[in-house]
Structure 1
Amino acid sequence: MKVKICGIMDAGTALKAVEFGADALGFVFADSRRKVSPELVREINAQLPPEIHKVGVFVNESKHKVEDIADYCGLTHIQLHGEESPSFCKGFSLPVIKGFNIGCHSDLELVNKYACEGFLLDSPKGVYRGGTGKAFDWSILQDADLDGKRIILAGGLNSENVTAAIRIANPYMVDVSSGVETDGKKDLKKIKDFILAAKGEEPLDENVYDA
């Protein structure tokens, strides 16, 4: 199972997440307590292996600004998590992941109107678009006709429930932010435990979490 750790805010956490086995890292450029500057993300990405997906998260931003930030920071993917239309999501220079807030089965109907590289299904929005720490009913994905789309499951995931979430929803990738935080900050032990659980491995000794 592929894993994305979202809401990265410093190089140390990014490098440890990669060491622990993360496949993708997410950087939030929209309004959020995890919002980061392009300058910081450029610095972090310069230290990461080329095979790691570096995803920029944007909400209702202009295409020109998204492209400028993506190029400057060295992003590999663009995640759009607002009311961006199907036509808006086309024509970017990088693969696009479209985010959706899912509350019920009918919310999934919108997904098939888009043609994107990936589709991030998140919990219903709170103050911000993501990072609420709340899960939606994963079982609604079991009989959903999503036309073979690459689903990235997000919303309320943590090391204790991610195995069940994967079994029920069968996503292409799982995405976590608040579920690997303690007091609003990324927790290396929780990141490691989440990645191991998602990939079906056993936790290691405590000292592997030391920065």
Structure 2
Amino acid sequence: MRQELETTIAFYDEKYAESTEHLDMQQFYDRFEKYLPEGASVLDAGCGSGRDSKHFIERGYTVTAFDASETMCECASKLTGQEVRKLTFQEMDYHDCFDGIWSCASLLHVPEDELTTVLSKLFLSLRDGGVLYASWKCGEAERVEVSSGRFFSDMNETRLTQYLQLTDHSELKEIWYTKDVRNSCVSQNWINAIIKKRGDAS
């Protein structure tokens, strides 16, 4: 498993940023931002190129960002003009810091036997009543993509509900399905979720 995860990170160390930096994510921003207070503190968890961090900064939010890929951190820092931490989900050390966490197409690389712990860390990072946006490729199991060697833990509504029940910290507010926004990948289906931290979860 370690080798597959290292290969996954290495994939993003190459030319991934330039292929995703200009994608139109407005429909997803709108779903997330309606839960945020004015001037919210937002964590971009697995920020990639920094595209989404840049949007949130321009919207007036206070943004913290991290990524597991050193190259992605450099790209995101250059794009946003602020420091981006090199960090994995498993290494997160935030507590009661954020009104919202944006985890777009990043939790899908967390192994299923670590996902409950990672979700718990994310909810600990949120303030009471804060929300997490997350997205995964649709599916029912872990897999390694043959073409790239990347590791994925795919998700469906049943699996997601089971993981959230194990965390005992959350309320599923919205769940919806979309096509990939990349023209070259429109056949790929995604599951999206907005999850709220309950006020008794600290």
Task: Tell me the TM-score normalized by structure 2.
Answer: 0.38
Name the structure with the higher helix share: 2
Name the structure with the higher strand share: 2
Task: Tell me the TM-score normalized by structure 1.
Answer: 0.37
